[in-house]
Structure 1
Amino acid sequence: MNSSSEASFTDAGSFDYVIVGSGAAGAILAERLSADGASVCVLEAGPPDHSPYLHIPAGFIKAVFNNKYAWQFSSEPTELTNGRRIPIPQGRTLGGSTSINGLVYNRGQAADFDHWASLGNPGWSFADVLPYFKSMERRVGGDDAYRGRQGKLPVSDIDWIHPLCEAFIAGAQEFGMPRNPDYNGASQAGVGYFQRTIDNGWRMSTARCFLKPSRSRANLTVRTYAQATRVLFESTRAIGVSYRDPRQPSVAHAVKARREVIVSSGAINTPKLLQLSGLGPAGFLREKGIAVVRDLPGVGENLSDHYSVRVVARVKNMQTMNQLVRGLNLVGQISRWMMKRPSIMALSPSLVHYFWQSRAGLDAPDLQGVFTPASYKEGYVGVLDDFPGMTTGVWQHRPDSRGQVRVRSADPFEDPVINANYLGHADDQMTLIRGIRLARSLLQSKALASCFDGESLPGALCQSDDELLDFARRYGVSSYHVNGTARMGPDGDPLAVVDPQLRVHGVQSLRVVDSSVMPSMPSANICAATMMIGNKAADLIRQG
């Protein structure tokens, strides 16, 4: 085996497949492989998903910054973010980030996946992946050509409508945006309400929809508090995974994989685990005292994320969510939720979307915007303002900036170094500046005039490109859409980590199945595409 520091293990059994991670892709993969009769062991580093905060949609704000249920990663400080570390929490419980995320279901544009195929990844065009999107979702409404009806994942429309949302949509139409009832259908462009993974007032994580119904199968074993520390190899063949319980870190366990090890740990933990296992840039691994199994320079490279900025305005003549979450108003909302009536308890953090072009001449949206009839202190989702407010955020769909993830040391319990390189590319800076100008214009539309009580962030004095860029550097945040750090590509691509079947180049019996494999950023929140990757990977593995 490749580990001298973990030479002795307690035997944790043998299975056909060992899946590291129970998130957007891992839970779906476990359900599908175990349905075929294969024995499957899922290792989840975090605890079970028992907390109500993980199931009530409004509990998002309590879960996402809770170290028990989310890895509290952050980027390294740079001048491009005004010397700030940018928080990048990632799910750390059954369901992974689908148990703590913003609940938005957004596939992206067809061109995103056609681009993946054009990079030397046959089988990943939009025509190829659409059946996998459709087969996992249960959607009411939309075109049968694009939407699935019989899947395990409910995708619902918002049922709580605030007049500010309708006014915002009307204002966006003033700027030429069409009202789009299904941005996951034929066209993404336009404005409307988000589709969410919420059903009957409850969050629908992949643990709830896929893993929980399958756990009665004798051939599916799910282990929580099982943090993978290394993929085990015989020569260059993956044969299992070592893991430790963070509550008893001195005891190492080894679980064997007769067929394959599948890493589904997300775009930060996946490259970390691969590097700890001896897969990565050889010189760097040796510097960290890690024995090299395979020199793979692309492991941890190509990190991409959506860097978002929020514009905030005060509201007059109307209550917003800032007031509805306090005192008797909150009691009333909880009562409505308990009676299964529309309530703020069953909302995603962002209610309205707009997908639009940052400049004339583009043939598809390069911006995504969000709107909610609420505002947070300093524009960051966390603590609501004391005054009635509304917020619209914006980010660039496909940033050119690329960062990296690298282990800090050979200690598996130490967080990796994340160099996100937000705003590192000049084109990203200009696109985001244009996006901020569009966002603040939308808040000052005629339709919102009777409610608009002045811009509080960035404020009327912030006008020039340099001032807006400085604002973005001081207040921009991650959208938690990290991807690309074990990117998919043909064998001739020097930075590709996996092939189009998601097999790790140069080794045997090891795959990566999560957002790490995305060769480029989708024009979307990445959860839906990550779930699709897990669904498609099941067929790739079965065919193999």
Structure 2
Amino acid sequence: MTSSDTQFHYIVVGAGSAGCLLANRLSADPKNRVLLLEAGKADSYHWIHIPVGYLYCIGNPRADWLYKTQPDKGLNGRSLLYPRGKTLGGCSSINGMIYMRGQARDYENWATLTGERGWNWENALVDFKAHEDHYKRDDGADPQTGDNGWFSDFHGSAGEWRIEKQRLRWDVLDSFADAATQTGIQKTDDFNTGDNAGVGYFDVNQRSGWRWNTSKAFLRPAKNRPNLTIWTEAQAEKLVFETGVDGNQRCVGVQISRAGESVCATARTEVILSAGAINTPQILQLSGIGPADLLKTHGIEVKLDQPYVGQNLQDHLQIRAVFKLNGAKTLNSLANSMFGKAKIGLEYLFKRSGPMSMAPSQLGAFTRSDPSRSHANLQYHVQPLSLEAFGEDLHEFPAMTVSVCNLNPTSRGHVRIASNNFRDAPEISPNYLDTEEDRKVAADSLRQVRKIMAQPAMQRYAPEEFKPGTQYQSDDDLTRLAGDIATTIFHPVGTVKMGRKEDPTAVLDPKLRVRGVGGLRVVDASIMPEITSGNTNSPTLMIAEKAARWILEDHA
């Protein structure tokens, strides 16, 4: 390998949701030589592209890092599987495909916390629309301008990121939506206009019944550019620094493990960490940027004592309530027979529809856990199926699962290296249900699930609470049960947060540059000061769109 093979203008570490978009945008100018690193393999595994294939990707070393959390006090000592994508496309190759921006108030809050108006809803909307290819264009919007009145106000049509309606419906889900309206939750056909309160079917990142990941969307159009180099099975060992004449540290490259060798690639302009909310703080800590005591414990030279690298971990914890149903068509009964499985397979083969085209959750709802709340602070993921735990067989009785999560948790966790070996998994401690407020919301949310299921629209199915069980009624009972049955929705964020200069907990400035080090930026979900009110994949793409523009402007 010659030195020219390892010299670039930009090195992007992580070919996940943010990294794929960044690689596309930065390499659009042929003068920029860009290296994109991915620790996993190419996204050639067939189950990545079939929507139901997430069942075969999560927990599979072919596509998943196979992380686990530390035993969690809030979960009564349980550890959880913590899937993270390890393939081109990252988590967009194994996630639930739900297109969800969050609430306008999330971004107004980011703008306040950072002092940067570029993060407010109006500006975030520009970046969401920039890469959208939204199905509403197909409903009559002008294909050139996207002009369709209401449509063009909120959605884009000329981008790479395809958004479609789901290709199936279920009577039990329609009945749940009707029951939700009977409790005062209005129906909606678009969760992405700034206020996601309501109930309806989720839009998904699919194209004609296939998963649409960021590798397809952003790398395919760019892969033949001579100035873009993509290395798969190339894991970052650590960042490489030089000390300038002013005594300040500058990141100048990445030490990479690839094909049995350790290779140093250099970056003239910037190194950009897009390895996600778990791996980005891990790489920073392995490189000497993090809590000094932690680094010294593992024999790592301290380049920058930054105690908050790896802190501020936030995630959405979902509480899975299961209800047995009578006379209902659910996936349990359909998929538990050879005839049903054959029917499912043939429908997908010939129509690209049916259960094999399903996102993990089909119906959603956003509402308040109690009337005193000023905004929707709960999200429902409703499914026409049930099982004991992810990866296990479906129950043999007809049932549905009503999962509900606290959108704005106040509990905070951390990510810390467990050794100085880049191959060792980091310690992940979300600290779920660590605050009194989160425990109260958990109890209230379970009561609200029961209220919806008790409405007339659901009574045709005579629902019977299977989990957690009607014998549990008090706040203490419900909080304890939440700890027993809750699990993550895989939305870790916040571990390398951005913020104002005067905020000692902010590792990054408002334009995502690492404070105290030159030539280094972070662009992924770890930068969020507070988690968004919904699924986090789409906000991560918005972050990358905005960051790409800032990076190019900075080095014009």
What is the aligned partner in structure 1 of residue 438 from structure 2? 428
The answer for unaligned runs of 5 or more in structure 1 is: 1-8
- CA separation in 2, counterparts of 1:127 and 1:319? 43
Matched, 1:143 2:137: no
Q: Give, as a single letter, the amino acid of the residue that structure 2 aligns with 1:23.
A: G
* 8 Å Cα contact 2:103/2:194 also seen in 1: no
Matched, 1:124 2:119: yes
Helix, strand or coil at the partner of 2:257: strand
Matched, 1:214 2:214: no
Aligned match for 1:94, one of 67, 88, 92? 88
What is the aligned partner in structure 2 of residue 3 from structure 1? none
Matches for 1:461-472 after TM superposition, within 5 Å: 461-472=471-482
Matched, 1:314 2:324: yes
When residues 121 and 337 of structure 1 are mapped into structure 2, their CA distance, relative to the original with a 3 A threshold, is farther
What is the aligned partner in structure 1 of residue 105 from structure 2? 111
- CA separation in 2, counterparts of 1:507 and 1:186? 35
Matched, 1:194 2:202: yes
* 8 Å Cα contact 1:272/1:300 also seen in 2: yes
Helix, strand or coil at the partner of 1:214: coil
Matched, 1:233 2:241: yes
* 8 Å Cα contact 1:12/1:254 also seen in 2: no
The answer for unaligned runs of 5 or more in structure 2 is: 137-149, 244-248
- CA separation in 1, counterparts of 2:171 and 2:546? 40
Bigger drift between 252-261 and 330-339 goes to: 330-339
Bigger drift between 262-271 and 472-481 goes to: 472-481
Helix, strand or coil at the partner of 1:537: helix
- CA separation in 2, counterparts of 1:28 and 1:485? 21
Matched, 1:288 2:298: yes
Q: CA deviation at 1:261?
A: 0.4
Q: CA deviation at 1:283?
A: 2.3
Q: CA deviation at 1:148?
A: 1.1
* 8 Å Cα contact 1:276/1:290 also seen in 2: yes
* 8 Å Cα contact 1:10/1:253 also seen in 2: no
Matched, 1:367 2:367: no
Matched, 1:265 2:259: no
Q: Give, as a single letter, the amino acid of the residue that structure 2 aligns with 1:492.
A: E
What is the aligned partner in structure 2 of residue 57 from structure 1? 51
Helix, strand or coil at the partner of 1:145: helix
Percent identity reads: 38
CA deviations on 1:276-316 (whole Å, 9 max, x unpaired) are: 01101122211211111111111001000011111101121
* 8 Å Cα contact 1:274/1:280 also seen in 2: yes
Matches for 1:482-497 after TM superposition, within 5 Å: 482-497=492-507
What is the aligned partner in structure 1 of residue 144 from structure 2? none
* 8 Å Cα contact 2:97/2:359 also seen in 1: yes
* 8 Å Cα contact 1:313/1:453 also seen in 2: yes
Q: CA deviation at 1:453?
A: 3.9
* 8 Å Cα contact 2:167/2:209 also seen in 1: no
Matched, 1:403 2:413: yes
Q: Give, as a single letter, the amino acid of the residue that structure 2 aligns with 1:167.
A: S
What is the aligned partner in structure 2 of residue 34 from structure 1? 27
Helix, strand or coil at the partner of 1:292: coil
* 8 Å Cα contact 1:371/1:393 also seen in 2: yes
Q: Give, as a single letter, the amino acid of the residue that structure 2 aligns with 1:24.
A: S
Q: CA deviation at 1:319?
A: 2.2
What is the aligned partner in structure 2 of residue 386 from structure 1? 396
* 8 Å Cα contact 1:108/1:188 also seen in 2: yes
Helix, strand or coil at the partner of 2:47: helix
Helix, strand or coil at the partner of 2:55: helix
Aligned match for 1:223, one of 231, 241, 246? 231
Helix, strand or coil at the partner of 2:364: strand
TM-score when scaled to structure 2?
Answer: 0.93
CA deviations on 1:36-93 (whole Å, 9 max, x unpaired) are: 2211111100111111110000001110111221111122113321111122110000
- CA separation in 1, counterparts of 2:466 and 2:310? 38
- CA separation in 1, counterparts of 2:194 and 2:73? 41
Matched, 1:242 2:250: no
What is the aligned partner in structure 2 of residue 6 from structure 1? none
Aligned length: 532
